[in-house]
Amino acid sequence: ILSDTFRASVTGQAASDVYQAFDYLPVFWSSAWQGFMDHLVNGVGIRGWGSLMVSLESISVLPVSERWHPHLFALEVAVDTGIPGLIGYALFFVFLSRRLFDARSEVALSSLVVILALFPLNSSISFYSYFNGNILFLTLALLIVLDRDIKTPTKVAGPYDGRS
């Protein structure tokens, strides 16, 4: 049984149809990297990697459609938006990481949720998917409101013994 499973895995047939994309990740990632290197300045356009991949003759054997994505957030941002998109993505993480260590726990927690939703090595869903947008924009709105409305705790000057 183990040898059959191993053989199926090596030949790219171990995954069910739902998880078939995992068998092709190295091909997806190399084609996304090539698309990024070919379109550094402005990328191939939002959700354009699938169209680019379908047009490549070397991967015509793969069951890909124009709706597919590279299954890695950092590569998806890179190939779709080029260097300007990567810079924006990095600056967004700088913004979030500054709030991650905020003294207000509500702000820090909502910043952590947004960071986890946009983690660069996430490989499950598309960066621009509807599901991801729901998590991102609702939590980001919460982060902005909390950052604006919750006051930073003030520090007491000197030791406080509990007496007035």
Q: CA-to-CA distance for 126 and 116, rounded, in angstroms? A: 14
Using left for φ > 0, alpha for ψ between -120 and 50, and beta otherwise, residue 163 falls in beta
In this prediction, residue 63 has a pLDDT band, given cuts at 50, 70 and 90, of low
Q: CA-to-CA distance for 38 and 35, rounded, in angstroms? A: 5
* Sign of the torsion angle spanned by Cα atoms 154, 159, 162, 164: negative
Domain ranges of the chain: 12-149
Each residue's pLDDT tens digit, 91-112: 999 988 998 998 888 888 888 9
In this prediction, residue 28 has a pLDDT band, given cuts at 50, 70 and 90, of confident
Q: Considering the chain, what is the average pLDDT of its residues?
A: 78
